[in-house]
């Protein structure tokens, strides 16, 4: 049972591969709709929840934080309440897996050790604060009500179908249409990148074998600066789809004013999930990035379907008024 509100980043085109699968049922609806969620639990005898639903773009949380509190905090509470009521007298095993982010841990210095599951929370954006709040709710429902909860905190994802407000697809699509490639500040912010299929595999692993009540950090072990990522994308495009006029896509890189409160570095220590559950990522970063670029090049119909007026308005709002810089800091 796939419950999705189909907000600006959602699309039924993402479900084409499973739309005729008898094991998949799609229902458009909001996780904040308590009556709807309770009805789904009752009518479909839900015993397993994998809670992906979230507002997740930091920039949007800065310009409009209310939606993040509503979906990420109230929505998580609504799902937890429905599970608690439905599973009060459960006779079969149940599981509630909450998908979260490494951003709840705050920022690291250049030489700090990577985040572990015991790193204190220190969120620095409305987005990460809303996710931290939801993590605490999940933990509390496990401790107070005995709800069989699990939490995963993952590093930056990349791969097919990612909405192009996020760094990698934004750079691919801007490059192809000749627009500037906006890099915040000096571009030396570091993230740990994980291919989306590896994330899905990790979630299935935790769902299947994780210890109830535990948190598992999921990371790719691929620390890269934003500027390095953009450069790698340009080099791939130079090879796979060279510019007709010649030159490199790197010429489109433009440093712009940094966003407020921009965390400098994230890094995940995935030792726990590796040691306890035997999971590790299967995709090397260079291979995963090349697959991602090729996917966007080969799926222009999908790209065109999401390049709506609302998308254009957001890009203009977030980037058009940011002053450019020389990138030397």
d(CA 273, CA 78): 28
**Three-class HEC string of 149-195:** EEEEEECEEECCCCCCCCHHHHHHHHHHCCCCEEEECCCCCEEEEEE
CA 201 centroid distance within chain: 15
* Cβ pair 122, 128 in contact under 8 A: no
SS3 109: coil
Between strands 215-218 and 156-158, the pairing is: unpaired
Q: Alpha helix locations (H) across the chain?
A: 34-43, 58-63, 66-68, 76-86, 126-145, 167-176, 196-209, 226-240, 271-277, 285-298, 300-306, 309-315
Structure tokens of 106?
């705050």
Q: Which residues are catalytic?
A: 102-103, 127
If phi > 0 it is left, if psi is from -120 to 50 it is alpha, else beta; for residue 247 that is: left
């Amino acid at each position: 049972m796939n419950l999705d509100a189909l907000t600006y980043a959602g699309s039924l085109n993402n479900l084409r591969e499973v739309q005729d699968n008898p094991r998949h049922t799609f229902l458009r609806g909001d996780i904040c709709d308590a009556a709807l969620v309770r009805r789904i639990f009752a009518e479909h005898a839900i015993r397993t929840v994998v809670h992906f639903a979230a507002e997740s773009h930091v920039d949007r949380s800065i310009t409009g934080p209310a939606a993040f509190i509503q979906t990420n905090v109230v929505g998580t509470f609504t799902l937890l309440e429905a599970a608690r009521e439905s599973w009060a007298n459960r006779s079969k095993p149940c599981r509630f897996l909450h998908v979260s982010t490494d951003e709840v841990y705050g920022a690291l210095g250049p030489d700090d050790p990577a985040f572990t599951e015991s790193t204190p929370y220190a969120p620095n954006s409305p987005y990460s604060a809303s996710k931290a709040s939801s993590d605490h709710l999940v933990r509390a429902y496990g401790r107070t009500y005995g709800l069989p909860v699990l939490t995963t905190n993952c590093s930056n994802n990349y791969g097919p179908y990612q909405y192009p407000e996020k760094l990698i697809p934004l750079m691919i699509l801007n490059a192809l249409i000749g627009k500037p490639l906006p890099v915040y500040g000096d571009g030396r912010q570091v993230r740990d990148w994980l291919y989306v299929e590896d994330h899905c595999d990790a979630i299935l692993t935790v769902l299947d074998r994780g210890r109830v009540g535990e948190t598992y950090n999921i990371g790719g072990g691929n620390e890269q600066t934003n500027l390095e990522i953009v450069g790698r994308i340009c080099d791939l495009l130079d090879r796979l789809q060279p510019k007709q006029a010649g030159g490199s896509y790197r010429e489109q890189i433009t440093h712009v004013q940094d966003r407020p409160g921009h965390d400098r570095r994230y890094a995940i220590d995935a030792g726990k999930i590796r040691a306890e559950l035997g999971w590790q990522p299967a995709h090397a970063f260079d291979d995963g990035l090349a697959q991602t670029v090729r996917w966007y090049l080969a799926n222009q119909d999908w790209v065109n379907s999401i390049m709506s007026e609302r998308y254009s308005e957001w890009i203009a709002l977030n980037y058009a008024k940011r002053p450019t810089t020389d990138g030397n800091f």
